[in-house]
Amino acid sequence: MKLKNALTIASATDAGLVRNFNEDSVSTNEELGLVVLADGMGGYKAGDVASGMATMIIGNELKEHLGKGLDKSNGVDLETELLRTAITRANQAIYHAAHNKTQFQGMGTTVVATLFRDNVVTIAHAGDSRLYRLRGEKFDQLTVDHSLLQEQVQLGLISAEDARVSHNRNLVTRALGVTQTIAVDVRQERAQVGDIYLLCSDGLNDMVDDADIELAMRSIKENIPLLVRQLVMMANDNGGHDNISVAAIKVEKPFPLRSGFFARWFGAYV
Amino acid sequence: MAKLVLSMNGSVLGNYFLEKERFSFGRKPTCDIQINDQGVSKEHAVILTVGNDQILEDLGSTNGTLVNGEKVQRHILQNGDVIEVGRYKLRFVNAKAMPDMDFDKTLMIPAFDRTKLKQEGAVKDEADTQSITTAAANARNVKTIFPLGAVRGIGGENTGREIDLSRSITALGKPDNSAIITRRPVGYFITHVVGKKHPIVNGKAIGDDPYPLDNLDQIEVGVDKLQFYLK
């Protein structure tokens, strides 16, 4: 089973209606089952440099390592380790660029990444870009924002309902390129046929209610490219105050690493 | 910088800048604003500054704290809010704290010091991780100015059935042959989702792009025939 045939992947990114620049970056790699979305910030128009570096470096790192035909036997949590290492490398590269070139000073980026491999999805993130999942009747947010707003709620300073009137939604507590080391949250989930995963920058979830994001995912399950376009449109219809990026992955078939006799001989995904 | 304008019976008594993370008011002399009023408790309320937010919290005062006439326990202050304690009024001024808040570029700030906040008694024990909806209160879905739309079945299984198109998206048809009607600020649109046959509007098949609907348009999605109308 080729991974490409097991997953449907689509993405869209848009500057929104207020900003002149799009500082978000999205990259998808169907062969690797990798989707990376980054929301850049800071610097003089350098946000897109930071987010572009993040998606590129993470993609290249994984291509290099997974291309070697590594499989489960190399370690229990190979994907977790690979993704964490790739993001750490991206952080270092952005950090160095930001500190060595004046035009990149102060740049940084959030990141959320999903790696689909062997019927498992590995999820990594830093910052306030999100991952949602629709699984049958259940709609969940699988990432917890690294933002001041989230911390305020977590600490009981304000209620989850009050988050809507907070002025802190734009303050992230973690971002790539800002400090020499980065704490990355990584988790793994068993993927199921029919699951739809949605990565997005805050330009979507700050403009479109979670309930409407869920409604779109339920209504447009059978057309993933339309789903991402529709969500971008809804964010713009509601004001489009920020850059909007959306990527969606639908699991069409199981994607075990070794599925048959030939797979055992010729390695992964033949 | 956020500030409070203290007044009684319409006369301004002073301006106070919220320069401290924790700013208190009450009858006690140690409070940042001392208010000598029998209706005010010794330590009446406090304003905590967290990032761009100023959070007002009543400290279990006898007579309570009002914001814009309503009793509050905890409240994120918005520009122009009027806090009432006893006979005194405190007007909150912070141009940055507008309800239609700016979507300023995301800034990186360090996580705040939990231990310190705990020592100050400002925070409760950590709650379970919870998802929060950040959609801005002013980002109302679909600010529609046109009347509510609806469809009624005029052929197929759904004949006679009526569906209000009140949500941002309404799905029509079957899983293998479906369309959506979207409610947008400029009107209603029908879009093909999946299936060999694209929806037909007034006898003509639509393309891949969203197609604007007019009052009394006739729609076919698969075997279902519907009429779109504005209420």
pLDDT, average across residues A110-136: 96
Give the C-alpha distances (Å, rounded to integers) separating A178 from A109, A116, B52, B135: 8, 28, 20, 26
pLDDT digits (tens, 9 = 90+) for A47-61: 999 999 999 999 999
- The whole-angstrom separation of Cα A213 and Cα A206 is 11
pLDDT of residue B185: 87
Whether the per-residue pLDDT at A198 is higher than 80: the answer is yes
Output the pTM of the full model: 0.85
Q: Give the tokens for residue A45.
A: 């128009």
What is the spatial distance between Cα A50 and Cα A53, in angstroms, rounded to a whole number? Answer: 5
Chain A partners of B117 at a C-beta cutoff of 8 Å? 155, 157
User: Is B74 near chain A, with CB under 8 Å?
Assistant: yes
Q: Does B101 touch chain A (CB under 8 A)?
A: yes
pLDDT tens for each residue of B19-76: 898 999 999 999 999 999 999 999 999 999 888 889 999 999 999 999 999 999 999 9
Given an 8 Å threshold on Cβ–Cβ distance, is B107 in contact with A18?
no
Closest to B193 (Cβ–Cβ): which among A205, A215, A220?
A220
Kindly determine whether residue A154 and residue B126, on different chains, have CB atoms separated by under 8 Å. yes
Using CA atoms, how far residue B54 sits from A27, A36, A159, A201, B18, in Å, is 38, 35, 14, 26, 9
C-beta separation of A174 from A208 below 8 A: no
| C-beta separation of A243 from A13 below 8 A | yes
Instruction: Residue A18: list chain B partners with CB under 8 A.
Output: 103
Q: Contacts of residue A134 in chain B, CB cutoff 8 Å?
A: none
Neighboring chain A residues of B107 at a CB cutoff of 8 Å: 41-42, 170-172
Q: What integer best gives the mean pLDDT of chain B? A: 85
Q: Considering only residues 134 to 193 of chain A, which have any Cβ-Cβ distance to chain B shorter than 8 Å?
A: 140-141, 144-146, 148-160, 162-175, 178
CB pairs under 8 A between A and B: 198
**Would you call B100 an interface residue with chain A, using a CB distance cutoff of 8 Å?**
no
Helix/strand/coil percentages in chain B, nearest 5 = 5, 45, 55
User: For strand A171-172 and strand B107-108, is the pairing parallel, antiparallel, or unpaired?
Assistant: parallel
Kind plus residue range of the DSSP H or E element containing A246: strand A244-251
Q: Tell me the ipTM for this assembly.
A: 0.86
What residue type is A37 in one-letter code?
A: L
Q: What is the per-residue burial (b if ≥16 Cβ within 10 Å, else e) of A5-32?
A: ebbbbbbbbbbbeebeebbbbbbbbbeb
Cβ neighbours of B176 in A, within 8 Å: 222
- CA-based R_g, chain A, Å: 18
B177 contacts chain A (CB < 8 A): no
Determine the residue of chain B that is closest to A205 in CA distance.
B135
Locate tokens 């029998």: which residue?
A: B38
Residue B197 has pLDDT above 60, yes or no: yes
**Among B74, B106, B108, beta carbon nearest to A158:** B74
Can you read off the two tokens belonging to residue A153?
């709620």
- Torsion angles phi and psi, residue A227, rounded to 5: -55, -50
C-beta separation of A220 from A230 below 8 A: yes
The pLDDT score that the predictor gives to residue A78 is 85
Chain A contacts of B76, Cβ < 8 Å?
158, 162, 165-167
A27-79 pLDDT, tens digit per residue, is 999 999 999 999 999 866 799 999 999 999 999 999 998 866 555 545 557 88
> What residues of chain A lie within 8 A of the CB of B104, using their CB?
170
Helix and strand numbers, DSSP H then E, in chain A: 8, 12
- Report the residue from B52, B55, B193 with minimal CB separation from A171: B52
